Amino acid sequence: MQTSNRRLFLQGSVAAAAAALTVPAVARAAATQAGAPATDKPATDKVAAGCKTKFAVNIEMWGFGKGSLHERVYEVAKLGFPAVEFWPWRGRDLDALVKACKETKVEITQFTAWGFVPGMNDPKNHDAVVKEIEASCETAKRIGAPMMTVVAGNDIPGMSQAQMHAHVIEALKRCAPIAEKAGVTLILEPMNIRVDHKGHCLYGSPDAIAICKAVGSPHVKINWDLYHMHISEGDLCGRMKEGWDQIGYFQLADHPGRHEPGSGEINYPWLFGYLDRIGYKGWIGCEYKPAGNTEAGLGWVKPYLPGAA
């Protein structure tokens, strides 16, 4: 999750706002390198068509040189990806987005319902949080999204981290029945404070796990961003095992640089194999910045295509 673009939508406003991993594809990938990072050679059309591990493209960070979300959906479809995710829904042409998804058969996995500012960690904002989650649930039903990301908020002067987290729990307890009634899952995203989000109140997995357990709803889970978790705490597989029952969604990017898998130090083929072995059956959001040409940087997808050795 990137702060700067979201704040363009969220600052000063209360409006904030893959299918099953299969054994053959992921087991092969676990023993395969992630693929070369971006080169000058463009990839073939529909490079992700038939990909057995289904990934959702973040159409905020993969801009494709297009100004609108619905135009980006068509670009995603050309590459063969089955789904997209995006950030705030306010101010977007949702009719055009739904039309593009319907025409291309591209799904929407999740979007941001409540962002960084104003913070969910401040009780004075809770009435606004509830109101916005109600509106966001209606939007989720309208666009067919089963999940919505929510963000805890930045540090509040004079308030301890424990106090801020308690307020997040309180807000999510109020929102959980709304999400349950709508059939939507709220996914709380911990950030990292070393590189991207200094001053954010929620980072790493233990506190996120504790918050979701305290809320106690099957419709409040964690958006487990592997990039943020790697920077915050490492031991990715061990931490995933500890928080397994609270994970609702995964996102990825490599580090350093927040680019595509294979461009940095995270061993994504091994991680995908681990996710398969422990039974993950959900989506993985590709929330990374292509290092160069978007298509040229998709070599990491090739091990998951039918017929990959």
Q: Do 285 and 46 contact (CB within 8 A), yes or no? A: no
Domain residue ranges in the chain? 3-304
Choosing from 132, 189, 260, 295, the catalytic residue is: 189
pLDDT at 303: 80
pTM of the predicted model over 0.75 = yes
pLDDT at 12: 36
Buried b or exposed e, range 118-145, using 16+ CB within 10 angstroms:
bbbbbeebbebbeebbebbbebbeebeb
Choosing from 107, 132, 287, 295, the catalytic residue is: 287
Query: What SS3 state is found at 306?
Result: coil
Residue ranges of the chain with per-residue pLDDT less than 70: 1-45, 50-53, 305-309
Q: Do 308 and 47 contact (CB within 8 A), yes or no? A: no
Q: Which CATH number fits domain 3-304: 3.40.50.300, 3.40.50.9100, 3.30.70.890, 3.20.20.150?
A: 3.20.20.150
Q: Which helix (H) or strand (E) holds 138?
A: helix 126-143
- Whether 287 is catalytic is yes
pLDDT at 305: 61
At 152-191, the pLDDT tens digits run: 999 999 999 999 999 999 999 999 999 999 999 999 999 9
Query: What SS3 state is found at 141?
Result: helix
Cα–Cα distance between 214 and 237 in angstroms, integer? 23
Q: Kindly give the residue spans of alpha helices, DSSP state H, lying in the chain.
A: 3-10, 23-30, 69-79, 94-104, 126-143, 161-182, 205-215, 226-232, 236-242, 268-277
pLDDT at 15: 34
